[in-house]
């Protein structure tokens, strides 16, 4: 992964379409430099996988064997 240039970027809030099993789903996206970025938790919710945060190691985890949990706070 290449390092960023250190310059501030402008993010524009928008909606973007993704597909799940042929169904169109609109998600909140953030457009930065011509690319759309999604919150990982939003993608986890749509595709039902767990997203975790380990504050000690400051790492994000993705566990597809677990479903998305709206009650878990990170």
Eight-state DSSP code of residue 69: -
What backbone torsions phi and psi does residue 37 show, to the nearest 5 degrees?
A: -120, 140
Dump pLDDT digits (tens) for 16-63.
999 999 999 999 999 999 999 999 999 999 999 999 999 999 999 999
Residue 36's alpha-carbon distances to 10, 12, 20, 31, in angstroms, are: 12, 9, 18, 4
pTM: predicted TM-score of the whole model, two decimal places: 0.79
Q: How many CB atoms lie within 10 A of CB 18?
A: 16
Q: Which residues pair with 24 in a beta bridge?
A: 19
């Amino acid at each position: 992964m290449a390092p960023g240039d250190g310059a501030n970027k402008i993010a524009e809030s928008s909606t973007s379409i993704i597909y799940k099993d042929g169904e169109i789903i609109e998600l909140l996206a953030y457009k930065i430099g011509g690319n759309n970025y999604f919150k990982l938790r939003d993608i986890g919710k749509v595709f039902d996988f767990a997203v975790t945060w380990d504050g000690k190691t400051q790492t994000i985890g993705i566990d597809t064997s677990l479903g998305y949990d709206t009650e878990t706070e990170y």
